[in-house]
């Protein structure tokens, strides 16, 4: 009756705040918003596709095209303990398993805004969700915004989820 | 278990193509996309709020603040047969009744992009959905785009649904 699930790419990145890899505030916000406001109790109606784009030379990871779809897939990779991107994706895949939503997650290297749009073209999701720090125009000049680029150029509908004011860190450029 | 429904404002307007009032291609596209991709079978999890902004002096309608929530509400108004905006909203309210999704619909007068953002501020929906003709940069200079303004200024997440290429009328500025 429901047909194919709605496929949502959620673009996620790491926090800039601490040394240990963990999801940025805006990535977590975008994910939790999608679960609470869109998926709600209809967990079988959706599939979440987590895309993490690593800027080249960030680390030595070179196994970019594997797909990780369960916690087990990650345990096999645990010996690669420097792989920060996997920890990031593991967080979201684990959350999906808790909630009961189907998911996939993968890593690409490159310029995030361009890779996200290229992956949208390749994967053809129904929707792209991107978190945003919600910076003002002055700050945007220096840090650029991936979300604005995707809203303009991605070949599917895009939702930008702005970080909540009460979650903004001391330096709003941090995330 | 599900709590409050997700409240989505769908901004709708009339077609520019024929003399008789009916929903624009991009309004219908934005609505149908929301039903198929977001609401899906979870009809009790969502409430659709249809906002139609009429440009002043378009007609003599001056009863702007009523709320219409069922087909009956419209039948009482049938004698105002010049009220084009009601026909437009009736279309969407009837569709919601067919599908079984709760809805409300109302009309405001003013500059659509500014009124939509003001209504978002007032109503505080979870999401705003706006249709777009998907015009190129050259055409946008002349017609402006409500969707771009809302993406920048609305105080809630916004999805822009571009009109499908196979639904573009002969003159793409038409809708």
The answer to whether B6 contacts A127, with C-beta atoms less than 8 Å apart, is no
List, for residues B13-55, the tens digit of each pLDDT value: 988 886 666 899 999 999 999 999 999 999 999 999 999 998 8
Task: Give the per-residue pLDDT at B12.
Answer: 95
* DSSP-assigned letter for residue B3: -
Q: What is the pLDDT of residue A53?
A: 92
User: Nearest-CA neighbor of B48 among B158, B150, B127?
Assistant: B127
To the nearest whole Å, the CA of B125 is away from the closest chain A CA by: 11
Q: Are B160 and A158 in contact (CB under 8 A)?
A: yes
Q: How confident is the model at residue A16 (pLDDT cuts 50, 70, 90)?
A: confident
CA of residue B28 relative to chain centroid, distance: 8
- For the segment A35-53, the average pLDDT, to the nearest whole number, is 97
> Are A16 and A9 a contacting pair, CB within 8 Å?
no
The verdict on a CB contact (< 8 Å) between A159 and B127 is yes
Closest residue in A to B164 (Cα) is A156
Q: Is B168 helix (H, G, I), strand (E, B) or coil?
A: coil
CB atoms within 10 A of CB B123: 15
**Chain A / chain B CB contacts < 8 angstroms:** 48
> Is B158 close to A159, i.e. CB distance below 8 A?
yes
The residue of A157, A158, A160, A161 whose CB has the most chain B CBs within 10 angstroms, and thus the best one to mutate to test that interface, is A157
Within 13 Å, how many C-alpha atoms sit on residue B159's CB side?
A: 29
Neighbour-count burial of B100, counting CB atoms closer than 10 A to its CB (0-12 exposed, 13-18 middle, 19+ buried): exposed
Q: Residue A129 — very low, low, confident or very high, per pLDDT cuts 50/70/90?
A: very high
Strand partners, A103: A48
| pLDDT of B136 higher than 60 | yes
- Local confidence band at B58 (pLDDT 50, 70, 90 cut-offs): very low
Question: Can you give the pLDDT at residue B167?
Answer: 85
To the question of pTM greater than 0.90 for the whole model, the response is: no
Q: Find the helix or strand (DSSP H, E) in which B51 lies.
A: strand B46-54
Tokens of A138: 């002055």
Across the interface, of B37, B42, B157, the residue whose CB is closest to A40 is B42
Of B6, B42, B161, nearest to A157 by CB-CB distance is B161
| Per-residue pLDDT at A80 exceeds 50 | no
For residue B29, the model assigns a pLDDT of: 95
pLDDT at B78 over 60: no
User: A159 and B162 in contact by Cβ < 8 A?
Assistant: no
Mean pLDDT throughout A96-123? Answer: 95
Least Cα distance to A73 among A54, A57, A39, A96 occurs for A96
The predicted pLDDT at position B141 comes to: 58
**Domains, in order of start, for chain A:** 4-58+68-165 (3.40.50.620)
CA B52 – CA A1 distance, rounded (Å): 32
Contact between B41 and A41 using a beta-carbon 8 Å cutoff: no
Q: Residues B87-128: pLDDT tens digits? A: 899 999 999 999 999 999 999 988 999 999 999 999 999 999
Confidence band for B77, pLDDT divided at 50, 70 and 90:
low
Largest CA distance in chain A: 49
The answer, yes or no, to whether residue B60 has pLDDT greater than 50, is no
- Residue contact B45–A45, C-beta within 8 A: no
Q: Which residue of B has its CA nearest to A39?
A: B38
Which of the pair, A138 or A77, is modelled with greater confidence? Answer: A138
**Nearest C-alpha in A relative to B42:** A42
Report the C-alpha gap between B143 and B169 in whole angstroms: 16
State the complex-level ipTM. Answer: 0.80
């Amino acid at each position: 009756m429901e047909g194919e699930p709605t496929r949502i790419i959620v673009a996620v990145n790491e926090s800039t705040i601490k040394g240990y890899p963990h999801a940025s505030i805006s990535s977590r916000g975008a994910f939790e918003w999608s679960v609470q406001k869109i998926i709600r109790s209809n967990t079988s109606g959706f599939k979440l596709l987590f895309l993490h784009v690593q800027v080249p030379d960030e680390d030595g990871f070179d196994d970019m095209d594997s797909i990780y779809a369960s916690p087990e897939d990650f345990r096999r990779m645990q010996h690669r303990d420097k792989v920060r991107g996997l920890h990031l994706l593991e967080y979201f895949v684990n959350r999906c398993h808790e909630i009961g939503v189907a998911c996939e997650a993968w890593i690409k290297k490159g310029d995030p805004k361009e890779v996200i749009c290229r992956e949208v073209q390749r994967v053809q999701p129904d929707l792209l969700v991107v978190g945003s720090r919600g910076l003002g125009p002055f700050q945007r000049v220096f840090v650029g915004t991936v979300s604005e680029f995707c809203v303009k150029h991605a070949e599917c509908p895009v939702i930008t989820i702005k970080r909540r004011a009460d979650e903004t860190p001391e330096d709003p450029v941090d995330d």
